[in-house]
Amino acid sequence: MKLPFKFVLEKRLLQYIAVATGSLVIICCGLNFGWTSPYLLVLLSEDSPIPMTADESSWLGIIYLVGGLCGSLFISLIGHLIGRKSILLWLSVPLLASWVIIALATTLLELLIARFIAGFCESLTLTSFSMYVSEISDPEIRGFLGTTITTNYFLGIMAMNIMGSYLTIKVCSFVCASVPIIHFISFVWTPESPTYLLMKGDREEAKRNFIALKGGNEVDHHLDIIARSIEEENGTDMSFISLFRQPNRRSLLMLVGLRFTQTFSGISAFTIYAQTIFKEGRSTISPLLGTAIFHAVQIIFSLLSSLFVDKLGRRPLLIASTIGAIVTLLAEGSFFFVRDVIKLETSHISLLAVVILIMFTCSYSLGLQTIPCFMAAEVFRADLKAYACTVSSVFFFSFGAMASKYFQFTKDKYGLYFPFWSFAICCVIGLVAIIILVPETKNKTLEEIQTERKSKVLSLSVNEGGRQSN
């Protein structure tokens, strides 16, 4: 849709508006992902509206991640054909449909279909929104706007846990169905990414959108830089296979390392089974209160991360976040080992398990929760972003599904201590990958990041050639 921009908005104001209205679909994804936390307990109760076994109920979480995996593969097919904004806008329709199906469901199969649709939409949403935010925002606030993705995502998860503890499945679903409707109505007026429009050869529309988003200072100069970068990229191989060649191979390994560390910290499992964990932890606080605190801390520390990411940088926050996650996961596992294996009396300190899990959340939310979600859109060139974000999402949902099923299996077979210690080991591996592979991109334009990557690879090639000649 072409927008009748009759006046130029104040610099950056429309960037914030576009991200704020677009974030409604992110909140909807959070509502969907958090649905299992309160309602698994309902579905497994004696008064369940749809009776099922514990193993059957676990698939309500897994099928969501499988849907996300399929959606990740689909975005690579349409990422170059449909605008970032258009994808985000029309995803409102299937998201609305998923809530209606859940509200009217009478069988497990219907719930699984709705959860698959929701997961499919989430992967398209997160991938498209990260690209959209990176392309419309100024370098000075790109990190801040990028971190709002996960902040709003966990805002939706917390809202679901609260609503799910008081509302029936049908009522809650109809309430949630209003979110994609509001998103469509508010987001339809925002501009398409100027970078995407230049890729499609529509310079006039790109110029108009660029002025609305960032003001009219040297607009032609900025568009020329972006267009020149796109032109250079069009002269090279832009196939999926090019992700595995230099200078992209190292960045691809970085994405895999970030997603591995992010998901195998256990966060997907903790979110899906949040109220179950607090119930089995035998804490003095209720599962609802524990879960509410868990997600409130995620939101607060995600906001802190968004404030610091453009000042301190990506690398320091990621390293500090991972170290904190390692320490707290080891501590949490040790608590459950002492309680369940050594059989020491821990009822007088049962609150300690909750405190440690909250400390883990604080550490995780400072870096691992937010930064991996937008790094693919930052470090890859425009024509490869869809492929890179696809790979990033594929690993996120694949690792998330594996981690969630692993958590459920090991806690039932060995006890809660086992998955916590396992996740700590995974974070140690991830920390090494972060230190070696993650570049610093704060306050740099996307074009500057690409130039630095090419220069670094060229320098490495020259040094390697010199060593071989010697």
> Per-residue pLDDT tens for 212-257?
888 777 787 888 887 887 776 665 555 667 777 776 788 888 888 9
Distance CA 190, CA 356 (A): 42
For 304, half-sphere exposure in the C-beta direction (CA atoms, 13 angstrom radius) is: 16
Per the structure, the count of domains in the chain is 1
End-to-end CA separation in angstroms for the chain: 60
Instruction: Evaluate whether residue 246 is within a structural domain.
Output: yes
Q: Which residues of 59-98 are buried (b: 16+ CB within 10 A; e: fewer)?
A: bbbbbbbbbbbebbeebbeebeeebbbebbbebbeebbbb
Q: Count other Cβ atoms within 10 Å, centred on residue 225.
A: 15
Which pLDDT score, from 0 to 100, does residue 53 have? 83
Residue 22 CB burial class (10 angstroms; 0-12, 13-18, ≥19)? buried
Which pLDDT score, from 0 to 100, does residue 6 have? 42
Return the structure tokens found at 205. 């529309």
Asked whether the bond before 247 is cis by omega within 30 degrees of 0, the reply is yes
Distance CA 274, CA 354 (A): 11
Specify the pTM.
0.71
Instruction: Evaluate whether residue 18 is within a structural domain.
Output: yes
Instruction: Evaluate whether residue 79 is within a structural domain.
Output: yes
Which pLDDT score, from 0 to 100, does residue 467 have? 52
Sign of CA dihedral 219, 1, 381, 394: positive
What range defines the domain where residue 85 resides? 13-190+236-469
Distance CA 275, CA 256 (A): 29
CA angle 398, 399, 401 (to 5 degrees): 65
Return the structure tokens found at 28. 């909807």
Tens of pLDDT, residues 401-456: 788 888 888 888 888 899 999 999 999 999 999 999 888 877 677 667 767 766 66
Outline where 84-138 has alpha helix (H). 84-90, 92-104, 108-136
Distance CA 392, CA 203 (A): 30
DSSP state string for 32-98: HHTTHHHHHHHHTSTT-SS---HHHHHHHHHHHHHHHHHHHHHHHHHTTTS-HHHHHHHTHHHHHHH
Instruction: Evaluate whether residue 144 is within a structural domain.
Output: yes
- Whether 361 contacts 370, CB under 8 Å: no
Q: What single-letter DSSP state applies at residue 399?
A: H
Which pLDDT score, from 0 to 100, does residue 321 have? 93
Instruction: Evaluate whether residue 120 is within a structural domain.
Output: yes
CATH number for the domain including 416?
1.20.1250.20
Which pLDDT score, from 0 to 100, does residue 346 have? 72
Instruction: Evaluate whether residue 201 is within a structural domain.
Output: no
- CB within 8 Å of 11: residues ≥ 6 apart: 214, 215
Instruction: Evaluate whether residue 215 is within a structural domain.
Output: no
Instruction: Evaluate whether residue 216 is within a structural domain.
Output: no
Distance CA 274, CA 266 (A): 11
Which pLDDT score, from 0 to 100, does residue 7 have? 38
For the chain, residues with pLDDT lower than 70 are: 1-11, 76-77, 79-80, 232-240, 247, 272, 274-276, 280-284, 382-383, 443, 446-447, 450, 453-470
